[in-house]
Amino acid sequence: MRVIAGELKGQQLVAPRGWKVRPTSERVREAVFSSLGGRVEGATVLDLYCGTGALAIEALSRGAARATLVDRDTRPALGNVERLGLRDRAELVRADAEAWLAANDRPDGGRYDLVFVDAPYKLADLVARQLDTHLSGVLAPGGRAVVESGARRPLAIASLERLRQRRYGAADVSIYALEDE
């Protein structure tokens, strides 16, 4: 697994053996970032259920200003962030993503231009309810939420407007925006 484009193009991303992470494939990352186009440059990024950090790292490589990576276990992402010299642009938060979202969904809370969600596929129903309640509170006006889920049980976020939905093998990827845009 490697970074596809940008300043870190070709750098390897490590997914520790035996850890319960399912990194977003290079094919899916390429499709997602092609869809996002110029939205990545200078963006603030939130990577929920970050795992190895592949999505946030790809965004940083392509010019995102900073990224917040949230997961119950940030060690896989930490290794990649440190090895690639991204510590000054990446904040790692060791927390349950749903609890972190609920705590940060406030009028004075930070807003993100890009939010990546790649939760464990088996938690789709539970995650969908939490995201539906809180995701619009952390998404900046004009921002995009990219949600990857299992193609058999795709996540749907009713509080946001789905702009695009594509299937890549076992993965379903939807891009959302705030409804009032």
Q: Compute the average pLDDT of residues 77-103.
A: 93
Is the CB of residue 57 less than 8 Å from the CB of residue 13?
A: yes
pLDDT at 120 over 70: yes
Strand partners for 147: 117, 174
What is the pLDDT, as a whole number, of residue 19? 55
CATH assignment of 26-178, among 3.40.50.300, 3.40.50.150, 3.30.428.10, 3.90.180.10: 3.40.50.150
Residue 167 pLDDT > 80: yes
81: pLDDT strictly greater than 60:
yes
CA distances from residue 65 to 9, 12, 68, 90, 156 in whole angstroms, order as listed:
17, 21, 11, 9, 28
Mean pLDDT of the chain: 88
How high is the pLDDT of residue 181?
Answer: 60
| pLDDT score at 17 | 66
State pTM to two decimals.
Answer: 0.91
Name the residue ranges covered by the structural domains of the chain.
26-178
> In this predicted structure, what is the pLDDT of residue 18?
58
Q: Where are the alpha helices (DSSP H) in the chain?
A: 26-36, 54-61, 75-83, 97-104, 124-138
